[in-house]
Amino acid sequence: MIRVPAADGPGAFVHSALFYEDLGQYLGGVGGFVRAALGADEPVLVAVPGLRLGPLRESLGGGPDVAYLDMTTLGRNPGRILAALRDFAERHEGRPARIVGEPIWPGRTEAEVLEATRHEALINTAFAGRAATVLCPYDVAGLPGTVVADARRTHPTLIEKGREPAGPSPAYADASVVCADCDLPLSEPGPGAVGLHYTHGELAAVRDFVEAWARDASLAAGRRGDLVLAVSEAAANSLGHGGGQGTLRLWADAGHGVVAEVRDGGRLADPLAGRRRPSLASANGGRGLWMIHQLCDLVETRSTPSGLVLRLHMADA
């Protein structure tokens, strides 16, 4: 059984990558982590791709202190994952929480992997000062070498080839550095993209524009409403925090639904905005970005010299 170091003491936090090559290493590493948590009377959340849930459940069983989630659903948009992890830890306030989170698996698109890498870096910011241990498995046999290299940068400790104990990662980098490296230029949309510039007093016009376009694009009614709401929230942020104006572009992504892009002169001062559940007591609290992440299947975020870009992806189902 592989032993993963656990948080020890108030405010202690451990974030480890588990590099596995086959199912045996996976079950040994993740199973050992969960059993150690249960033996220490600590709650544990297991959020992994559905293909791995069956073998893990069979190996570990259930219990009141074990929660299982399918990461392909929870983490379809990587921007949703962090809030779920924090919610789990906060539900067990006063007890060290253990979490297995596998946000990157073979078959993820490059855009999804990039945002999941950003998520991995921000875990270290979000859990600073919280007694918790997060283990992130990586399929080194099925993932590109660049993904594994980034895992070395986002995890302070590593477990490789089934060896123990976990050792420090010489490549570990601060979350701000990793997130800046994730701000790669976005590709231009193909022909057929439509655009709209908007300013104060034109939010209703933005909604009407999106509604009409989505209807012509044959987006299902439910998804059309989600798109209108998500774009409306992004445009409202432009007007309130992005210089009072912005530019919207819309286009169809063949076989993958639709894409909306909002550009403005804003800055994302809080890298966790939208990735943690907003406080009801807060005047702003990132509620707009939170809603966008909940509605969309992927949110690409870019901080550029001229401002902020949000690219919102929405499938038809």
What is the pTM for the complete model shown? 0.92
Residues 200, 177 share a domain: no
**Number of domains comprising the chain:** 2
**Tens-place pLDDT, residues 241-288:** 889 999 999 999 877 899 999 999 999 889 999 998 887 665 555 789
Residues 214 and 99 both lie in one domain: no
Same domain, 241 and 98: no
Identify whether 189 is part of a domain: no
User: Which of 122, 149, 181 finishes a domain?
Assistant: 181
Please give the mean pLDDT across all residues of the chain: 91
Percent of the chain with pLDDT over 70: 93
Q: Is residue 91 part of a domain?
A: yes
Q: Give pLDDT tens digits for 210-227.
A: 999 999 988 899 999 999
Q: Which domain holds residue 302?
A: 194-314
Contacts of 99 (CB under 8 A, 6+ apart): 44, 45, 47, 85, 88, 89, 132, 133, 134, 135
Half-sphere exposure of 290 (CA within 13 A, CB side): 15
pLDDT of residue 286: 76
Q: Is it the case that residue 158 has pLDDT exceeding 60?
A: yes
Query: Residues 202, 119: one domain?
Result: no
Distance of alpha carbon 261 from alpha carbon 106, whole angstroms = 27
- Give yes or no for a contact between 142 and 26, defined as CB atoms under 8 angstroms apart: no
- Do residues 88 and 157 share a domain? yes
Alpha carbon 199 to its chain's center: 30
